[in-house]
Amino acid sequence: MSLQSFLSQGGYAFFVWGSYGMAALLLVAEIFLLQRRRKTILTRIRRLIRMRAQETNHESQT
């Protein structure tokens, strides 16, 4: 089978690749969002730890 005939899918390329394209897009988008969610919460926890450390420093000084 040639690449051209594979890509054209008998003239139904729009429908076939429209379906597979959306599947790929959704999976990639979800993986991206999952990574971003993890990064966000890790950053927030690091900030919480820093804030707590500053508070205890401040308390020990006064």
Partner 1 sequence: MNKKLGTNQDDVATASFIKKIHGWNLNAVYKYASPLTFYPLAGRLVPWFAWVAGILILVGLYWGFFQTPDQLGGANSQKEYYRIIFIHVPAAWMSMWLYVVVTGWSAVGLVFNTRQSFMMANAVAPTGALFTFLALWTGSFWGRPSWGTWWDWDPRLTSELILLFLYGGYMALHSAIDDTRRADKAAALIAIVGLVCVPIIFWSINCPDPNQCAALHQRSSMGRIEPNILTAMLLLTFGFWSYAFAASFARIRSIILERESTTQWVRELPEVRP
Residues making contact with partner 1 (CB under 8 A): 1, 6, 9-12, 15-16, 18-20, 22-23, 26-27, 30-31, 34, 37-38, 41-42, 44-46, 48-50
Where do the DSSP E strands lie in the chain? none
| DSSP class of 12 | T
Smallest gap from Cβ 60 to partner 1, in A, equals: 19
Do the Cβ atoms of 46 and 38 come closer than 8 Å? no
Round to whole Å and give the CA distance between 43 and 18.
37
Smallest gap from Cβ 50 to partner 1, in A, equals: 7
Smallest gap from Cβ 4 to partner 1, in A, equals: 14
